Structure 1
Amino acid sequence: MFRNILIPTDGSSLATVAVDAAVAFAKEVGANITVFTVMEPFHLFTSSSYQLGSTREEYEALSREHAAQTLAAAQAQAERAGVACATDQVRSHEVFRAIIQKAEDIGADLIVMASHGRSGVGALIVGSVTAKVLTHSTIPVLVYRKK
Structure 2
Amino acid sequence: MFRKVLFPTDFSDCSYKALECVRQMRGAGVEEVVIVSVLDERDTDLVTTGIGWLSGDRMVEYDAGIERRMRENVQELLDGMVGVLRGAGMKVKTAIEKGVPSVEILAIAKRERASLIVMGSHGKSNLAGVVVGSVSEEVLRRSSVPVMIITREMQGGCRSEGEE
TM range (shorter): 0.7 to 0.9
Match of 1:99 in 2: 105
Structure 1 segments of 4+ aligned residues over 2 angstroms from their partners: 55-59, 117-122
2:123 aligned partner: 117
Q: Which runs of 5+ in 1 are unaligned?
A: 47-54
Shift of 1:143: 0.4
Unmatched segments (≥5 aa) in structure 2: 49-61, 154-164
Aligned length: 135
Residue 21 of structure 1 corresponds to: 21
The sequence identity of aligned pairs, in percent, is 29
Which of 57, 64, 67 is residue 60 of structure 1 equivalent to? 67
Q: Distance in 2 between matches of 1:36 and 1:45?
A: 22
Structure-1 separation of matches of 2:63 and 2:96: 18
**Could you say which residue in structure 2 is the equivalent of 1:43?**
45
Q: In structure 1, how many angstroms separate the alpha carbons of the residues matched to 2:113 and 2:101?
A: 18
Paired amino acid for 2:81: A
TM-score (norm 1): 0.81
Instruction: Verify the 8 A CA contact 1:10 1:67 in the aligned structure 2.
Output: no
Of the two, which has the highest radius of gyration? 2
1:99-146 superposed Cα distances (whole Å, 9 cap, x missing partner): 001001011110000110333459x9xx61101101111111000001
Q: Distance in 2 between matches of 1:7 and 1:45?
A: 26
Indicate whether 1:69 and 2:79 are aligned: no
Partner amino acid for 2:45? H
Quick one: which of 79, 89, 108 aligns to 2:114?
Answer: 108
Equivalent residue number for residue 59 of structure 2 = none
* Cross-structure match for 2:148: 142
Q: C-alpha separation between the residues in 1 aligned to 2:111 and 2:68? A: 26
The 5 A counterparts of 1:120-135 are: 120=126, 128-135=134-141
What is the distance in 1 between the residues matched to 2:46 and 2:2? Answer: 41
Q: Write out per-residue CA displacement over residues 54-106 of structure 1, whole angstroms, 9 at most, x where no aligned residue.
A: x53453133202220121011111111111111111111x1101000100101
TM-score (norm 2): 0.73
CA contact (8 A) 2:13 2:152 kept: no
What's the C-alpha RMSD, in Å, of the aligned pairs? 2.4
